[in-house]
Amino acid sequence: MSAQVEEAPPKRPGPPLWLLLELTYRCPLHCAFCYNPTDFSGIGPELDTADWLRVLREARALGAVQLGLSGGEPLAREDLESIVAQAHDLGFYTNLITSGVGLTEGRLAALKEAGLDHIQLSFQDSTRRINDFLSSTRTFELKSRVAALIKKYRYPMVLNVVIHRLNIDHVEDILAMAERMGAEYVELANTQYYGWAWLNRAQLLPSREQLRRAEDATRRFRERVGSRMRIFFVVPDYFETRPKPCMNGLGQVFLAIAPDGLALPCHAARMLPGLAFPNVRDADIGSIWYDSPAFNRYRGEAWMRDPCRGCPERARDFGGCRCQAYLLTGDAANADPVCDRSPYHHLVSAIAGTAEQADHAVARGQPLLFRDYRAR
Amino acid sequence: MTELDVASRPVIARGTRLQWEGAQGAHVLLYPEGMVKLNASAAAILTRCDGARTVAEVIGELERTYCAELGKDVLAFLTLALERNWLELRP
Ligand code: SF4
Ligand code: SF4
């Protein structure tokens, strides 16, 4: 007699509650940790205003409610105000994710008028030297001005600082700066190693000791400011033994639309091979979300293999990040190698290990690649 | 921030929005890059936090509607909502 394995019937996924529109890959900055695809200069033309407005209507009708507007630099789109106005009328909560470049008082007033709910300002460091070095441009003063404008227009002040080896020792100064600017939320987000950051991982990954000091500094700061300022510290998962529950599972709540209209279950997913991601120029959001093979490919658990299949923790982390599995093991259906049950976990340990030797990559003379528009 | 008492007038915090979401069949609170789905009692309390009603009035209305003594529960929830920055107090 053979045992029957009862597979639970696949549940119909909920709606894409979180919609991210990457309005453009254009950006005046050249961050070395940019998560945009490294071949973005070869990607097709941007959607026009009418397409974006249709995407908003279709997604809202399905139940999407949190809206991120990012890029590149979303302010590079002159129709940003119209997009925000439409989103607001539809009942979205609108989040603008910006480097602040191009955010004049005139545009901010217009965005407020259009109903923009929230602005997340990215900051590379508290010192001008590092900030300008990492974004490869002189933007520090500009960002300080923009922070003041955000306050003036009575927005909650949300700072996002991408953390890595070259600025992690400044965490205390960064938090002090955030406090001076009146920040209510601060995200200290360790770099996610995709796109340009993946190319630069050897230079950007902090050591365990740096990480520990930064976490201590954050804890002391939290104790001092209490609930006045909320601080999120996102650790680089290369130091973990269990992966992050990436996107709550692909195709569960998150839908990203790239500048060229490609619909993605995670903004980094364009890199995954063998998936024909649908384009909003050809299909409506409902059929993309519920019916397209690309969105169903890594939904639920059917795609899992050992060690994830049958693992008691699979409902917690969904096997981790497909992009990380692909980048490190060459196959997106493997367990995220951050997991120490993965036979490829040694690859992650090896990367984390190199970060222990001080200034290893710099010492080897490996240059930091700044995001640029050259064809790769 | 002033202390919570029965005379304070709580209101949904700046940057936070309370709305009904048909797709989720629930009220939700929306705030920068986040959302919570509210259960029916949380929604009954928060929809009354309009900056005009006092805490005492909110409790009074809820007790009449649900015919139960709710003062302690409502205060506990309001305290939590203030801690999470969902609410502000109007003087
Ligand atoms: S990470 Fe830097 S270069 Fe990339 S889009 Fe953001 S601001 Fe521009
Ligand atoms: S084996 Fe897979 S499901 Fe289990 S903890 Fe590791 S990544 Fe998660």
**What's the complex ipTM?**
0.90
Q: Is the pLDDT of residue A350 over 80?
A: yes
> What pLDDT shows up at residue A6?
45
Please tell me if residue A63 touches chain B, with a CB cutoff of 8 Å. Answer: yes
Contact B85 A227 (CB under 8 A): yes
> What pLDDT shows up at residue A139?
54
Least confident of A84-98, A101-115, A153-167, B74-88: A153-167
d(CA B16, CA A376): 43
d(CA A38, CA A32): 11
- The residues on B that touch A, with CB distances below 8 Å, are 14-15, 17, 19, 21-24, 28, 30-35, 83, 85
- Let me know: does A20 contact A268? Beta carbons within 8 Å: no
Interface of A with B in 183-202 (CB under 8 A): 184-185
- Does domain B9-84 fall into CATH 2.40.10.10? no
Structure tokens at A140: 């520090």
Give the number of other CB atoms < 10 A from CB of residue B89.
19
Indicate which of B1, B28, B33 best probes the interface with A, i.e. most A CBs within 10 Å of its own CB: B33
Atom 6 of ligand 2, nearest CA residue: A339
Burial A281-304 (b: 16+ CB within 10 A, else e): eebbbeebbbebebbbbbbbbebb
Is A175 strand, coil or helix?
A: helix
Tell me the per-residue pLDDT of A278-310, one tens digit each, with 9 for 90 and over.
999 999 999 999 999 999 999 989 999 999 998
CA of A240 relative to ligand 2 center, distance in Å: 12
Ligand 1 lined by A27 (C-beta under 6 Å)? yes
Tell me the per-residue pLDDT of A208-217, one tens digit each, with 9 for 90 and over.
889 999 999 9
Which is nearest to A226 in space by CA: B11, B84, B15, B13?
A: B84
Label residue A75 by pLDDT band (50, 70, 90).
very high
Sheet of strand B26-31: strand arrangement? B17-21, B26-31, B34-37
Q: Which residues of B touch A156 (CB under 8 A)?
A: 14-15, 32
> What pLDDT shows up at residue A282?
96
Q: Are strands A157-163 and A185-190 parallel, antiparallel or unpaired?
A: parallel
When pLDDT is averaged across residues A65-77 and rounded to a whole number, the result is 94
Among A65, A91, A158, beta carbon nearest to B32: A158
Please count the residues of chain B: 91
Q: How far is CA B9 from the centre of its chain?
A: 10
Contact A158 B19 (CB under 8 A): no
When pLDDT is averaged across residues A352-366 and rounded to a whole number, the result is 60
Q: Among the atoms of ligand 2, which is closest to the Cα of residue A316?
A: 8
pLDDT above 70 covers a percentage of chain A that reads 85
Tell me the per-residue pLDDT of A217-259, one tens digit each, with 9 for 90 and over.
999 999 999 878 889 988 888 888 999 888 888 999 999 999 9
For A118-129, give the secondary structure using H, E and C: EEEEEECCCCHH
Q: Is the pLDDT of residue A267 over 70?
A: yes
Residue of higher predicted confidence among A57 and A246: A57
The angle at the Cα of A110, spanning A105 to A114, to the nearest 5 degrees, equals 145
Q: Is the pLDDT of residue A363 over 70?
A: no
Q: Is the pLDDT of residue A2 over 60?
A: no
Tell me the per-residue pLDDT of B51-72, one tens digit each, with 9 for 90 and over.
999 999 999 999 999 988 888 9
When pLDDT is averaged across residues A81-99 and rounded to a whole number, the result is 96
CA of A288 relative to ligand 2 center, distance in Å: 28
Least confident of A37-41, A233-237, A319-323: A37-41
- Average model confidence (pLDDT) across chain A: 84
The domain locations on chain B are 9-84
Probe target for ligand 1 pocket from A30, A98, A99, A121, with the most ligand atoms within 8 Å of CB: A99
> What pLDDT shows up at residue A9?
46
- Average model confidence (pLDDT) across chain B: 91
Contact A184 B23 (CB under 8 A): no
> What pLDDT shows up at residue A33?
66
Instruction: Taking the CA atoms of A342, A344, A350 and A352 in sequence, report the sign of the dihedral they define.
Output: negative
Least confident of A172-181, A241-250, A352-361, B47-56: A352-361
